[in-house]
């Protein structure tokens, strides 16, 4: 009798949860933003980055402290969504001209110097439908907090990015489980010569990143090598060799 009622109530509970989740999913009216790169878009469920969700982006290696590649990539994504962006941070080292350089103009960003209450600022922003997105530069983020953000994002349909920063490089705290829909790691790679057929010419071409999708709901982990966002926030797959620009991209490989 006892076990029966337990299983019964468990089943009931599962049904309720399923119903709640469906409601959430419907309310969010999930949309996707394609990267414009077939290799990445085909890999992601829904053909692009899911909007109305929380995504985690961090740099790899020593760049983790400043998360500058991650910031640039997020800015590039948000540049392709119209509307205002809330950018909450505790440090004031973000330099707006660089964001304008990937297409996210100064008129579209509302900065919040949130001190140690970045998560609160993100949640406030996520309650406001009609924004392009919310970015929070956070160090500490646990499962509960990320679930809160995820629910808030589902409720309003605004995309949220947790930009992880840590003073330590390879901080284990950045690997703790999160309720984020996808988790990305951006690492820098030596870039190609600016003039492919004349490698001796000095100068800098576009930055080259290795993008790792370490976790994604509904997709396998994967990694790609891309060239950093251009002035309109678009990525480009990197060609491996300077003199074979038409060669098929060989950067794609499985990492999991």
Partner 1 sequence: MHDGRRMVIASADAAAQAMGLRAGMPLAQAQAMRPGLTVIDADTAADAAALRDLAIWCQRYAPLTAADPPDGIRIDSTGADHLHGGEAAMLADLLQRLARNGLAARAALADTPAASWAMARHGPTPATIVPPGGTVPALAPLPVTALRLTTDVSAALDRVGLETIGQLAATPRGPLVRRFGEGLMRRLDHALGHSFEPLEPVPPTSLIRQRLTFAEPLLTGEAFPNIIARLTRAVAAGLERRGEGARRLDLVFERVDGRMQLITIGTARPVRDPPYLAKLLCEWLETVDPGLGVEAMTLWVPLAEPLAGEQLRVLPSETQATDLGPLVDRLSNRFGAARVYRMAPVESDVPERSAERRAPLDPAPGLAWPSTLPRPVRLISPPQRVEALAILPDQAPAFFVWRRHRHRIHRADGPERIFGEWWRRDAEMRAVRDYWAVEDLDGRRFWLYRRGDGIERITGDLSWFLHGLF
What residues line the site for partner 1 (CB under 8 A)?
61-63, 66, 68-69, 71-72, 83-84, 86, 93-101, 105-107, 109-115, 117, 120-121, 124-125, 128-131, 188-191, 193-194, 202-204, 207-208, 231
Ramachandran region, residue 247 (left: φ > 0; alpha: ψ -120 to 50; beta: rest): beta
For the chain, the farthest-separated pair of C-alpha atoms sits apart, in whole angstroms, at 81
Ramachandran region, residue 18 (left: φ > 0; alpha: ψ -120 to 50; beta: rest): alpha
Measured from the Cβ of residue 132, the count of other Cβ atoms closer than 10 Å reads 21
Measured distance CA(25)–CA(114) in Å, rounded? 30
Q: From the CB of 26, what's the least distance to partner 1, in Å?
A: 21
Q: By C-beta, is 49 or 121 nearer to partner 1?
A: 121
Measured from the Cβ of residue 103, the count of other Cβ atoms closer than 10 Å reads 18
Measured distance CA(216)–CA(161) in Å, rounded? 14
Q: From the CB of 102, what's the least distance to partner 1, in Å?
A: 9
Q: From the CB of 219, what's the least distance to partner 1, in Å?
A: 26
Q: From the CB of 44, what's the least distance to partner 1, in Å?
A: 25
Measured distance CA(68)–CA(97) in Å, rounded? 13
Q: By C-beta, is 115 or 218 nearer to partner 1?
A: 115
Q: By C-beta, is 56 or 123 nearer to partner 1?
A: 123
Q: From the CB of 194, what's the least distance to partner 1, in Å?
A: 8
Q: By C-beta, is 25 or 231 nearer to partner 1?
A: 231
Q: From the CB of 240, what's the least distance to partner 1, in Å?
A: 14
Q: By C-beta, is 105 or 218 nearer to partner 1?
A: 105
Measured from the Cβ of residue 41, the count of other Cβ atoms closer than 10 Å reads 16
Q: By C-beta, is 105 or 248 nearer to partner 1?
A: 105
Measured distance CA(35)–CA(221) in Å, rounded? 17
The single residue listed with the structure tokens 């579209």 is: 108
Q: From the CB of 220, what's the least distance to partner 1, in Å?
A: 26
Ramachandran region, residue 241 (left: φ > 0; alpha: ψ -120 to 50; beta: rest): beta
Measured distance CA(94)–CA(78) in Å, rounded? 16
Q: By C-beta, is 99 or 145 nearer to partner 1?
A: 99
């Amino acid at each position: 009798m006892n076990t029966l009622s337990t299983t019964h109530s468990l089943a009931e509970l599962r049904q309720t949860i399923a119903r709640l989740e469906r409601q959430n999913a419907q309310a969010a009216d999930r949309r996707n933003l394609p990267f414009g790169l077939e290799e990445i878009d085909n890999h992601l469920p829904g053909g692009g980055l899911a909007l109305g969700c929380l995504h985690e982006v961090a740099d790899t290696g020593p760049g983790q402290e400043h998360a500058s590649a991650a910031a640039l990539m997020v800015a590039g994504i948000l540049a392709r969504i119209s509307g205002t962006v809330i950018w909450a941070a505790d440090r004031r080292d973000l330099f707006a001209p660089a964001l304008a350089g990937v297409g996210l103009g100064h008129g579209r960003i509302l900065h919040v110097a949130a001190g140690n209450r970045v998560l609160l600022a993100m949640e406030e922003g996520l309650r406001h439908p009609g924004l392009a997105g919310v970015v929070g530069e956070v160090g500490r983020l646990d499962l509960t907090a990320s679930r809160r953000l995820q629910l808030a994002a589902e409720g309003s349909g605004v995309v949220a990015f947790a930009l992880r920063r840590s003073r330590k490089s390879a901080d284990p705290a950045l690997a703790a489980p999160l309720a984020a829909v996808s988790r990305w790691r951006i690492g820098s790679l030596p870039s190609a010569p600016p003039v492919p057929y004349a490698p001796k010419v000095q100068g800098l071409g576009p930055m080259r990143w290795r993008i790792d999708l370490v976790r994604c709901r509904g997709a396998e982990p994967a990694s790609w090598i891309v060239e950093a966002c251009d002035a309109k926030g678009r990525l480009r797959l990197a060609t491996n060799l300077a003199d074979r620009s038409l060669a098929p991209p060989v950067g794609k490989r499985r990492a999991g």
